[in-house]
Structure 1
Amino acid sequence: MTDLVHRIWALLVLGGMFGPGVRHVTGIDIYTPKEVEALNGTNVKLKCTFSSSHPVSVTSVSVSWNFRPLSSGKDEPVFYYQDVPYPPTEGRFKGHAVWSGDIMKRDVSITLHEVPPTFNGTYICQVRNPPDVHGSNGEIILKVVNKASFSEIAILAAAGGAACALILVLLGIAVAVKYYKRKGRSPDIEMHPPEDMWKDSTVCYPEEAVRLTVKKKKDSKFR
């Protein structure tokens, strides 16, 4: 009996703890690609979006971008946003990181300009929208390469091949049309002689020659 009372009491206490008046803390969800590849010296966009169960405004959301080098070590600040963008004023990302997001669209992306190989590493996107302050961060691995990957080369090759094929098809159609036009003219010429030929009164056709011969024979009989 005593054990039963203790269990009921414990349930009542737990019910009171999680009953009305207690605010449940919800997490914020962040979405990023796992890996991004960029050519040395080009610009690359680091895409980061989020969702929050609380209303979003330009003044309520804060964003932090940090960089972790391949050799591990200490994280470096890349970009910060709160009310307005705060690009870096020193360090390796000075003059390279710019804001590309839109808070009201839940987009907190940034763009890195003219990326060098020293930008290889992991970029961490952290978003806070109080009271939504809990949740995992987004992480992107950036690979700066000196030439396009095989997939990019394959895409370019496929595009070039398609263009060549289209040109060949158009040339083939043009040659076929020209050939059939010429072929269609020759029987027309045979069936319809030139006007100067059939209008000439001196031309005698075989049918007319027969008629003339018969007429001459009849004339001689009557004589």
Structure 2
Amino acid sequence: HILLNPLLLLSLIFLHLSDFAVCLSGLRPVSGIDISTPSSVEAVNGTNVKLKCTFSSKYKVNPQSVAVSWNFRPLNSGSDESVFYYHETPYPPQTGRFKGHAVWSGDVTRGDASITLQEVPPTFNGTFVCQVRNPPDVHGNSGEINFRVVNKVSLSEIGILAAAVGGACGIIMVLLGIFVAVRYCKKNRMDNDIELHSREQEWKDPTVW
């Protein structure tokens, strides 16, 4: 037997009921809900990030009937996992990898179905799917976000990088100083040689005066 996540089961039930309501009403979907999401989002490991999802419907948005479901598809192409469900009130996940990580950040009256992921770990790498239903408008596209978690630079790594850059700059400054000093010494030596040569000529040839 397959044990379904309660949120995923609730979402599936509502979607099927929405389709059934459309059939009973005799309405035929024309354009469907239009959902917009960024194609990709990148976040630093351990930080919070907002997954934006906006929607528009040809029908007036009814806060009592709008349903929002977020699902997750892992990189290894495993089965979809429920991330978040909203219907009149938020239903955050109680089990699974997203427990304690997903919070509601949207406002369905303004066409906003966004959520926020808190303290994201590398296990969140994958595809997040946003679906919205506004009966009788229950058909349309879904928004997909390719999500990537990157490792943040540690303080020790920053220190090593700063030390390397500082050391390189120091070496360059020392070499530049040596180069300038050598040129200065050579110039002084040449000036002294010229002056000494001139004096020798004066001593040897008194008619110079």
Query: Among residues 29, 44, 67, which one is paired with 1:25 in the alignment?
Result: 29
Q: What amino acid maps onto 1:68 in structure 2? A: R
- Residue 25 (structure 2) pairs with residue 36 (structure 1): no
Residues 28-87 of structure 1, C-alpha deviations (whole Å, 9 max, x = no match): 100000000000000010000000001102112000000000001100000000010000
Aligned residues: CA RMSD: 1.5
Provide the residue aligned with 1:123 in structure 2.
128
Residues 101-134 of structure 1, C-alpha deviations (whole Å, 9 max, x = no match): 0011100000000000000000000000011011
Q: What amino acid maps onto 2:126 in structure 1? A: G
Distance 2:96 2:36 in 1: 27
Distance 1:57 1:116 in 2: 35
Query: Among residues 60, 63, 67, which one is paired with 1:62 in the alignment?
Result: 67
SS, match of residue 109 in structure 2: helix
Give the structure with higher Rg (CA). 1
Structure 1 residue ranges (4+ consecutive) displaced by more than 6 angstroms after TM superposition? none
Note if contact 2:27-2:136 (Cα within 8 Å) is conserved in structure 1.
Answer: no
Q: What amino acid maps onto 1:117 in structure 2? A: P
Residue 136 of structure 1 deviates from its aligned partner by 1.4
TM-score with structure 2 setting the length:
0.59
Select the structure with the greater relative contact order (CA < 8 A; seq sep ≥ 6).
Answer: 2
Note if contact 2:35-2:53 (Cα within 8 Å) is conserved in structure 1.
Answer: yes
Distance 1:87 1:147 in 2: 27
Residue 147 of structure 1 deviates from its aligned partner by 3.3
Residue 23 of structure 1 deviates from its aligned partner by 3.8
**Structure 2: unaligned runs, 5 residues or longer:** 1-25, 154-209
- Residue 103 (structure 2) pairs with residue 98 (structure 1): yes
SS, match of residue 97 in structure 2: coil
- Residue 84 (structure 2) pairs with residue 88 (structure 1): no
Q: What amino acid maps onto 1:136 in structure 2? A: N
Distance 2:43 2:137 in 1: 33
Provide the residue aligned with 1:77 in structure 2.
82
Residues 159-211 of structure 1, C-alpha deviations (whole Å, 9 max, x = no match): xxxxxxxxxxxxxxxxxxxxxxxxxxxxxxxxxxxxxxxxxxxxxxxxxxxxx
Distance 2:39 2:120 in 1: 18
- Residue 137 (structure 2) pairs with residue 132 (structure 1): yes
Distance 2:70 2:126 in 1: 13
Q: What amino acid maps onto 1:119 in structure 2? A: F
Residue 24 of structure 1 deviates from its aligned partner by 3.6
Identical aligned residues as a percent: 70
**Structure 1: unaligned runs, 5 residues or longer:** 1-21, 149-223
**Mapping of 1:105-120 within 5 angstroms?**
105-120=110-125
Question: How many pairs were matched up?
Answer: 128
Distance 1:108 1:125 in 2: 8
Q: What amino acid maps onto 1:63 in structure 2? A: V
Provide the residue aligned with 2:194 in structure 1.
none
Distance 2:146 2:27 in 1: 36
